[in-house]
A and B are shown apart, each in its own frame.
Chain A
Amino acid sequence: MAEKVTLAVFSGELDKALAAFNIAIGAASSGMEVSMFFTFWGLNIIKKNQGPIRSRGIMRKMLNFMNRGGPKRLPLSRFHMFGLGKWMMVRLMRDAKFPSLDEMIGLAREMGVKFMACTTSMGLMGISREAFIPEVDSYCGVATYLSEAREAKVNLFI
């Protein structure tokens, strides 16, 4: 049986998401079975950033208005500078022929990386399934994540 890698992706910043997908793609390329569990701000990485905000209540509506997410909308964890720093980083990546986060998500999927979305964070923040890209394999909680993580040789929290 293939060795397993599990990643708990908590952060919703571009740089951290790139690191997570870099490891996921590297592991999948090395014949390992990879699961990524997206929770809290990490959910922003797998949002599609389209369609109406369906959450109930003024606070959740406000939160999801300001926190729409989507791979193209993630800030940098340092030197974001109201988007200027991010714009520069994206340019540097393009010049270096480094794949965009969108492309990395696509490649990871192509290689069989599994996506899990945390229902607790979704409930708390009022995010519905429609907010996410269709590639999400399961909507689950910590027990499902742990059942995979306990079998994994590599388990990271990003």
Chain B
Amino acid sequence: MKADATLDCIGLYCPMPIAYTAKKLKELEAGQVLEVLADDEGIKEDMPAWCRMTGNELLGIEEEAGEYKVYVRKSK
């Protein structure tokens, strides 16, 4: 999936991936896509939950060898 920016959260545990995602998304424009790289498996549940709370759009989660690529589109 194509992203406008990438955020590397490999090696970080909760709550840092969502904390940094929230921070990073502020720098993006509405409609742009952020790719978050993470290896804490909690992200599979956490990012969808975070998107539900904040109204941003979860485009998908790709898993490969214990690492996750999570795509979030900034809604507003």
Contact = CB atoms under 8 A, between A and B. Distances in A.
Given A25-B19, A107-B19, A111-B19, A30 B13 contact: no
Nearest to A21: B15
A16 B18 CA distance: 21
A6 to B, nearest CB: 17
A22 B12 CA distance: 13
B32 interface: no
Interface in A24-75: 25-26, 28-32
B13 A98 contact: yes
Given A31-B53, A31-B54, A26 B13 contact: no
B12 A26 contact: no
Contacts of B15: 22-23, 25-26, 29
Given A29-B22, A111-B19, A22 B53 contact: no
A107 B15 CA distance: 11
B14 to A, nearest CB: 7
Contact of A29 (B11, B12, B13, B18): B18
Nearest to B19: A29
Interface string B13-45: 111101101110000000000000000000000
A26 B14 contact: yes
B54 A30 contact: yes
B53 A30 contact: yes
Interface in A83-130: 96-99, 107, 111
A99 B16 contact: yes
A30 B21 CA distance: 10
A19 to B, nearest CB: 11
B18 A26 contact: yes
A43 B18 CA distance: 27
A107 B19 CA distance: 9
A22 B54 CA distance: 18
Closest 10 CB pairs of A and B: A29-B22, A26-B15, A30-B53, A29-B19, A25-B15, A29-B18, A97-B11, A31-B54, A25-B19, A22-B15
5 contacts: A25-B19, A28-B19, A30-B22, A97-B13, A98-B16
